[in-house]
Amino acid sequence: MSRRFQCHTGFTLVESIVVLVVIGVVIALLIPAIQSVREAARRLNCQSNLRQQGIAAHGYHLNHEEFPAESYYDGTPSYSDEEDEVILDIHHASYRVRLLPFMGQAIIQDVLGLSATSEGIEDLSRMSIPAFLCPSASRKKVDIGSPLRYASHYYGIAGALGRSPSGEQYPTDPMQREFIVNIRTLDEHAPVDANVVLGPFANTGIIIVGGGVSLASVLDGTSNTFLFGEISWNKYGAHRNWVRGTAITSRWAFLPDGTKILFPYTQLTSAKGIAENFPINIGKQQDIAVQDFVSPLALPGTDDGFDIVFSEAISLIVPVRGRGAGHGISGFGSEHVNGVNFCYADGSVRFVDENADTTILMNLATRAGGEIATTP
């Protein structure tokens, strides 16, 4: 009697389960690796954006014998009668606008007409400029005032704010040297007794109000001086559109007697200072930071004669994610892992670790401070 042998070519249930488990493990191992590769590519793309801006800045320098100004803010109000509505002329436009012809975007500059005053230039920010946007950041449009307009994730370095290694205060822009107001007068939802600094504006860096900084004035060396930096974490609440430079906008405030007044609200919009208490990625780590400034600190008077002078040193509680972060000072940060990209005055781009000492960052922010600084 013959026996018949059957050959089983399929998997048993147990074998199928084992195969599925192995496949699942492999996928689980591959996904982080794929994500890591993608982020590495995005970080390189971000560095390419900054490098393109660095090259454009040098192109601008060749034509004008100086780096572009953050803006040509002169203290003249540029807001309309409507609250927080801005009508900018070209003088208040950001340094980014002045880079456009050197980034293959000359046609936009032609539309602007840089030789003449142009109202409504903010409408140009309805156009996305990829080189102004970090690919790792999901938020590409401004989240204050103009939801249809594109932001920029890159800012000029206006210099250092606070005390230098020698203990002296870094000099600041004379147009906006001292300007402090209790933030509750601007926003009823703000923390009680929180002060927001609308200045002072740093001017020891390269991208400053009024411009005038040449390569010859970068005495600390172009490879040791920041030119641009990245502020692109997704919850940053103070992005402005890429066209806007420094200007006075209008907000409502209240006098001690309850009188409602139109309050000048000035911001250093397309460049930022670097200060001791604003390390890299502070915005991702906490909601507020404290910055000390030395007395006396004065709030400029209004047409109503409203004037406040603070006669002592004040610790300023500055929201790093909200409106208060978008003025003369803000912590640089990104969605990249453990750090942020900076472009140096020589056009090179380097990734700086978030644990870098803020004193070193301040040293690198000045163009002629004479500090001994090496890239962290």
Report whether 252 contacts 85 (CB < 8 A): no
The per-residue pLDDT for range 110-150, each reduced to its tens digit, is 666 655 556 667 778 888 899 999 999 988 887 655 567 89
Mean pLDDT for 81-104 is 77
Tell me the CB-side half-sphere exposure of residue 84, using CA atoms within 13 A: 9
Instruction: State yes or no: pLDDT of 290 exceeds 60.
Output: yes
Residue 115 has a pLDDT of 53
Cis peptide before 200 (omega within 30 of 0): yes
The predicted model scores a pTM of 0.80
257-260 contacts at long range (C-beta below 8 A, 24 or more positions apart): 259/304
- Distance of alpha carbon 128 from alpha carbon 311, whole angstroms: 46
Phi/psi-derived region of residue 275, left when phi > 0, alpha when psi is between -120 and 50, beta in every other case: beta
- State the pLDDT at residue 293: 53
- For 179-222, the pLDDT digits (tens) are 555 555 555 555 455 455 566 789 999 999 999 999 999 999 99
Mean pLDDT to the nearest integer, 346-373 = 91
Q: Is the pLDDT of residue 319 over 60?
A: yes
Count of CB atoms situated within 10 Å of the CB of 348? 16
